[in-house]
Amino acid sequence: MRVNGAEGRDDADAGQNMTVIGEIALRQSLIWGCLALGLVFALIYAAFFCHRGPGRWKTAVKAVPLAAFAAAGLAGFADPVIIAALVLSALGDIALSRDGERSFLIGLVAFALAHLAYVVAFFGLSTGAPPLLPVLALVALALSTEVWLTPHAGALRWPVRVYVGLITVMGVAALGLPGGHALALTGAMAFILSDAILALQRFRMAPASVWQRPASVMLWLLYVGGQACILMGAGFVRPIFHP
């Protein structure tokens, strides 16, 4: 009976181990599947929609990439704060796919909250002070917007100023990430660059400019690529199965 009992326990342990392995495999499939889905829709949007005017299909396609990244984070037990930033970014994408100052302001608020979430996540991972020279460069870029951006923002001048401040803090927080999070730092800088291009396009570029289309494609690819890098570089910092 003892032998049978031991064999029964061994069979139960083997079954449990197979269940764990199966769940790991399933979650890995979901993570990579959702990431691939998001990137495919991002390329579709870049090729066919980012330079077009508002429309239902444009909004629907634009909403997929960041929502898919958030789903990948959920499947892999990513940092909840980073998942929240991805969801907020998806909401911002939906708002910015529509016309008008109200939609732009809603998108601005959504992305400001996303940057704030990234600030919390990055400072939580930080192990020391960020390097001084890159911090000074970011601060100089933020101050320069008082010359080339805010005077042209009209009624959105103060929301834009607040947003610039949050972007800068997010960049400083990313600069403080440990060396093992270089992918997340790259993503944060790409996100900042995409915002700078968006600001130029929105407030300084003529609607009929020949640079409108390439600017739309470039800022979108930097933005989506940056978000994917942040998720992969800083989101999955915990083991998939933990106490």
**Residue 117 pLDDT grade (very low, low, confident, very high; cuts 50, 70, 90):** very high
pLDDT of residue 127: 83
Section 7-12 average pLDDT = 53
Q: Average pLDDT for residues 188-196, to the nearest whole number? A: 96
What per-residue confidence (pLDDT) applies to 241?
42
The one-letter code for the residue type at 102 is R
Supply the pTM of this predicted model.
Answer: 0.86
pLDDT for position 132 = 95
Q: What is the pLDDT of residue 1?
A: 43
Neighbouring residues of 31: CB distance < 8 A, sequence distance ≥ 6: 72, 75, 76
- Sign of the CA dihedral with 9 first, then 11, 17, and 20 last: negative
Cα distance between residue 88 and residue 115, in whole Å: 9
Q: pLDDT tens for residues 36-68? A: 999 999 999 999 998 888 889 999 999 999 999
What pLDDT shows up at residue 214?
94
pLDDT digits (tens, 9 = 90+) for 61-113: 999 999 999 999 999 889 999 999 999 999 999 999 988 888 988 999 999 99
pLDDT of residue 240: 46
Per-residue pLDDT averaged across 31-36, rounded? 95
Long-range contact set of residues 115-118: C-beta below 8 Å, sequence gap at least 24: 115/85, 115/163, 115/166, 115/167, 115/169, 115/170, 116/166, 116/170, 117/81, 117/82, 117/84, 117/85, 117/88, 118/81, 118/82, 118/85, 118/170, 118/173, 118/174, 118/188, 118/230
Instruction: Give the residue among 152, 170, 67, 163 at the shortest CA–CA distance from 109.
Output: 163
